[in-house]
Amino acid sequence: MVKLPIYMDYHSTTPVDPRVLEAMLPTFKDRFGNAASRNHPFGWEAEKLVEKARAQVAHIIHADPKEIVFTSGATESNNTALKGIAEMYHEKGNHIITQTTEHKSILDTAKYLEKKGIRVTYLSVAPYGLIDPEKVREAITDETILISIMAANNEIGTVQPIEEIGKIAKEKGVLFHVDAAQAMGRIPVDVEKMKIDLLSFSAHKMYGPKGIGVLYIRRQNPRVRLAAMFHGGGHEKGMRSGTLNVPGIVGLGKACEVAEEELPRESERILRLRERLYQNISKELQDIHLNGHPKNRLPGNLNLSFAYVEGESLLMGISEEVAVSSGSACSSARVEPSYVLKALDTGEKFAHTSVRFGLGRFNTEEEVDYVAKQVIEIVDRLREISPLYEATKHGK
């Protein structure tokens, strides 16, 4: 028997891995020191823990520990990257390139910067949410100071050609920022190979705790300079003042170590689970549509539209037993097709009817089979009472 409710919403957040929790616990007890306390063992110990975590974080992305700045999460990192670069490089230019399907923490920051006089190009990505690197190249002007493209999308799981874009950015001498909140721990991320200058991610999307994240800032060719958002004690080389979140940092470090070790095997296992879920559902149901790219996508992401069925009604039908998401988690309070699905141009039939299954570390085959069965049952039932479905059937 499967244990209910089943969690299949790993793009929203992930549970803390037991190994991560274990590593964090001492920081709530005897190792509670302030990492900035320079004059006693409590502080020294906390600092040692922080520096160990910094090395673990740097290792998974092939960076130098000196290039890691701890933040409160990917939202803060994204804000810092865009605003910090816009401010620091305003004499060089005032143009930023991004895409329409970025996370809100990029899009809303870009909109804010537009009000401050920055010009922003939002590249379109239909039909699979995949960006064409050549379009990025064409959008670059003498005024361009930053390209910001996410590694993997949080709704449809599409994985972008980051290495190709990085190459173009380097050729053109434009800084390249990547939001890797969904990519970390799920696909390899290498700031050297991908020629990334700034990288954001968050611990809670990779089996670490909430409220802690990273901004990677390249220190060598080129040395990236950035205006800080927070001022105060000068922590994190002045890039991010405020007492360090030692428990969070230790958890993030451990989460990176575990992710690095597990990634090859885990991504394969989760991909098999996703394929099983997709096959189970598509065997039984007609008129479904896979949103996002069929191949270039996160192993655990299955975003499906069920024609003639409101995504919200489907969700309501299963929400007591299965945690999945319709649209993006951050806007799930509103009932409208998400801007990401709108950007794909899938058409009315499928735009309102999407469900995002996000598979992760603790899902099992039994859970996948259970979820597929529930979804099939509810879609059948909802279609039965759908006037539109009836009309279409008789029209055939």
Ligand X SMILES: *Cc1c(COP(=O)(O)O)cnc(C)c1O
Site string for ligand X, 339-378 (x = CB under 6 A): ----------------------------------------
Q: In this structure, are strands 119-123 and 301-306 parallel, antiparallel, or unpaired? A: unpaired
Q: In this structure, are strands 68-71 and 213-217 parallel, antiparallel, or unpaired? A: antiparallel
Site string for ligand X, 111-150 (x = CB under 6 A): ---------------------------------------x
Q: Do 321 and 9 contact (CB within 8 A), yes or no? A: no
| 256: contact with ligand X by CB under 6 A | no
Alpha-helix residue ranges (DSSP H) falling in the chain: 18-24, 41-61, 74-88, 104-115, 133-139, 162-172, 246-284, 311-318, 339-344, 348-351, 365-384, 387-395
Residue 256 annotated in active site: no
| 251: contact with ligand X by CB under 6 A | no
Choose the stretch contacting ligand X; rule: CB under 6 A; options: 17-25, 27-35, 112-120, 202-210. 202-210
In the complex with ligand X, which residue's Cβ is closer, 73 or 133? 73
In the complex with ligand X, which residue's Cβ is closer, 230 or 370? 230
| 101: contact with ligand X by CB under 6 A | no
Residue nearest to ligand X (CB): 73
Using alpha carbons only, what angle is made at residue 73 by residues 68 and 74, rounded to the nearest 5 degrees? 85
Structure tokens at 169: 């950015």
Positions in 71-90 near ligand X (CB under 6 A): 73-75
Residue 55 DSSP SS3: helix
| 325: contact with ligand X by CB under 6 A | no
| 301: contact with ligand X by CB under 6 A | no
What's the min distance (Å) between Cβ of 344 and ligand X?
16
Site string for ligand X, 173-192 (x = CB under 6 A): ------x-xx----------
Candidates 2, 139, 271, 330; catalytic one: 330
What's the min distance (Å) between Cβ of 105 and ligand X?
5
In the complex with ligand X, which residue's Cβ is closer, 101 or 346? 101
Q: What is the 3-state secondary structure (H, E, C) of 266-325?
A: HHHHHHHHHHHHHHHHHHHCCCEEECCCCCCECCCEEEEEECCCCHHHHHHHHCCCEECE
| 245: contact with ligand X by CB under 6 A | no
What's the min distance (Å) between Cβ of 361 and ligand X?
16
The kind and range of the H/E element at 68 are: strand 68-71
In the complex with ligand X, which residue's Cβ is closer, 251 or 317? 251
What's the min distance (Å) between Cβ of 188 and ligand X?
17
Query: How many CB atoms neighbour CB 100 within 10 A?
Result: 17
What's the min distance (Å) between Cβ of 211 and ligand X?
8
Number of residues that bind ligand X (CB under 6 A): 14
Beta bridge partners of 68: 216
What are the φ/ψ torsions at residue 254 (nearest 5 degrees)? -65, -40
Q: Do 341 and 327 contact (CB within 8 A), yes or no? A: yes
Task: Please give the Cα distance from 369 to 358 (Å, whole number).
Answer: 15
| 202: contact with ligand X by CB under 6 A | yes
Footprint of ligand X on this chain (CB under 6 A)? Answer: 73-75, 103, 105, 150, 154, 179, 181-182, 202, 204-205, 213
Catalytic sites, residue numbers: 330
